[in-house]
Structure 1
């Protein structure tokens, strides 16, 4: 049989390798589709048999079923994944039109097809479910597309759209499949999978998700005993599929932030142990019995910091754990309040501290997500290609009517969606604020912007209007 990399053409007669029943000469590019013909189950079986006889499976298990995407199919795609070969029947001209990479594989740089008659066979290493989604789009099988895709499935799909340069295929579904991840930064277990979300955001141009996940990876990554930067589950970042330059960006931002937090601890401890402090810096908030109060603060903080490996204060390069773990350790430091001989309930030192929590919060608020200009321009370009901004061309006016007592209330607001611009604090900083309020600190929480809205209250035939702010979360109600 004649062969090129990943593509072969059987030299057997077409009728022995159907479907299709008549392939014909494929030397033209792309060929004109023949009239759609009904196929018998035996035709599909014969194609499977012919492909198996070529002996290209390299010991992999070949599934019996052949998935046929069109009655006019003229090419078999043998997909190897995890030791299993899945076989798809597709229309070669449709595949070539959908992807310049596939077109080059089939017809070459000069758009010249391989000569000969028979069944074309393309061998691909890919995740079959993701490839099936692309083939359903290419062959207009839109009813077979999922309403939404889990993170793992969308990750595999975007690996293929990048590899075969066909991101444009998901245009009608780009926004639909990514909108559920607008608040992924606040979901349980996102630290373990944020590298997948980073890739999805990079390929589809989802800027907010990209920034949030870079943020999450910065504060959750740590160094293992081999010196490798790893994620929360211990997987090395160097082994992950990440955009160029992102590994170095994450490593540098992590080290710089840890250095700032540790420097804040060093400043407080030096001030109390040596008396070398900046003018006006006080740790006793009450202003009475200051020396005794500060001595109590220092005495209660030192054992806790020592137990956490934070005193003597280590160098940032020597701290192997994550920013999130460092934050948790500092937040666990408990102070013993000083009670003097003239103590009274309204003269308490319970609010005095070394300011370590405040220092962590400030460092996290100022922690940058240092994207370069080429990162931003790439995301903007991909967003236009993938269609994730397609629903935001014109803000949507939305209305909701509900009854409050004897009054009918009509809410009208402008839904600009999850991509409304505005000043954002880092997920880590929002976690810090959550911890201060007494809730269990998480390393990253979702952030919702607000939209201007107008409420029309209908009562006794009269209307009254009042301006208010409606969180975009209500837009989904």
Structure 2
């Protein structure tokens, strides 16, 4: 399922003047939205822009004073760029107080690219508060951009619990798009998706292990009264699992493409039948459920310590952590 990524600059052919004395024309995005800006303001704001505009590159000011200074930025998105340019040109009344998840993500992609994320400090908390409760997977990327360690961990844990995999083993988010979608390569540690995939697989296998052991024990029961009990329990367990969508019952995490959350719900719905209703037979399912919750509680830490340290340091720069 594709994730829609709208860009909200409506008048592509309109030139927007951010400085009445602007000496530089930026042409942003594939449609080349035009912005007239102050080159000195951009150079003072960002070392990346300073190097680009005065470092002798193709984007540097033309030697011919009769030639308009034009810099094309085809890979940048016009609407997020306009918000960034409004910030650096002190047009603060035009900086929105509320943003959608996608809008905030694309703004942070630009501020990270041009090394100016600190300039979002006056708005960072307000922006984050607007998206914090959306449960959108992109919150992990946004949290990385702003240094919100708590949100990063919460979202990463949510993805471990709720991501599924397709037939090629690619992680699919609860919203139906691929977690490794190339459009969202920015603003995330390069191997965090590997951590999430590995932990999901490990957790699924740990949860399924006691069930696999129970089935093995029931299959090996001796041929006496206990054998009848075992066969009845095993048969009812297999039928119950099939009704829950576990047919056949997976023996390891690699055999289950659903989410950890989905597996837990299916296992919680299992039941067994005992042939001797008056016999005090121990029901193994409460123990299985207890082991499941214990596995989730004691799972390996999703986010490596090195990432947490980076998040805390970044948060102090941006202002989320005082």
Classify the TM-score, shorter chain: 0.7 to 0.9
More helix by share: 2
- 1:325 maps to 262
Q: CA deviation at 1:267?
A: 2.3
TM superposition shift of 1:381: 2.0
Unpaired runs of 5+ in structure 2? 1-9
SS in 1 for 2:63: coil
Change (3 A) 1:227 1:313: closer
Alignment match, 1:88: 35
Tell me the SS of whatever aligns to 1:257: helix
Aligned to 2:7: none
- Alignment pair present for 1:371 and 2:303: yes
Question: In the superposition, relative to structure 1, how do residues 116 and 271 fare at CA in structure 2: closer, same or farther (>3 Å)?
Answer: same
Q: 1:71 aligns with which of 20, 27, 40?
A: 20
State how far apart, in whole Å, the 1-side matches of 2:260 and 2:234 are: 23
Aligned length: 302
Whole-Å separation in 1 of the counterparts to 2:141 and 2:85: 22
Equivalent in 97, 100, 120 of residue 69 of structure 2? 120
Aligned residue in 1 for 2:290: 358
TM-score, length-scaled by structure 1: 0.57
Partner residue in 2 for 1:270? 216
Equivalent residues of 2:27, 2:34 under 8 A apart: yes
Alignment of 1:177-326 (within 5 A): 177-182=127-132, 184=133, 187=134, 190=135, 193-194=136-137, 196-232=138-174, 233-235=176-178, 237=180, 239=182, 240-241=184-185, 242-274=188-220, 297-307=233-243, 308-309=245-246, 311-326=248-263
Taking the TM superposition and a 5 Å limit, the aligned residue runs for 1:459-474 are none
Per-residue deviation at 1:304?
A: 2.1
Give me the whole-angstrom Cα distance separating, in 1, the residues matched to 2:158 and 2:56: 42
Q: Distance in 2 between matches of 1:174 and 1:218?
A: 27
Q: Secondary structure of 2:12's match?
A: strand
Q: Do 1:214 and 1:369's aligned partners in 2 also have CA atoms closer than 8 Å?
A: no
Work out whether 1:137 is the aligned partner of 2:83: no
Give RMSD over aligned pairs: 3.1
* Cα distance, 1:351–1:119 mapped onto 2, change above 3 Å: same
Give the superposition deviation at 1:367.
2.0
Counterpart check, 1:101 vs 2:31: no
Select the structure with the greater relative contact order (CA < 8 A; seq sep ≥ 6).
2
- Give secondary structure in 2 for the equivalent of 1:250: helix
Q: Is the 8 A contact 2:228 2:275 kept in 1?
A: yes
Note closer, same or farther for the CA distance 1:228–1:351 as it changes in structure 2 (3 Å cut): closer
Task: Determine if contact 1:95/1:138 at 8 Å carries over to the other structure.
Answer: yes
User: What is the match of residue 116 of structure 2?
Assistant: 166
Give TM-score scaled by structure 2 length: 0.82
| Kept in 2: contact 1:178–1:388 (CA 8 A) | no
Identify the range of structure 1 (266-275 vs 164-173) with the bigger mean alpha-carbon deviation: 266-275
Larger Cα-atom Rg: 1
Q: CA deviation at 1:137?
A: 0.6
Shift of 1:211: 0.4
Q: Distance in 2 between matches of 1:109 and 1:243?
A: 32
Q: Which moved more, 1:248-257 or 1:115-124?
A: 115-124
Q: How much does 1:336 deviate?
A: 5.1
Alpha-carbon separation, structure 1, partners of 2:217 and 2:131? 45
Contact kept? 2:210, 2:288, Cα under 8 Å: yes
Provide closer, same or farther for how the CA distance between residues 152 and 236 of structure 1 changes in structure 2, counting only shifts above 3 A. closer
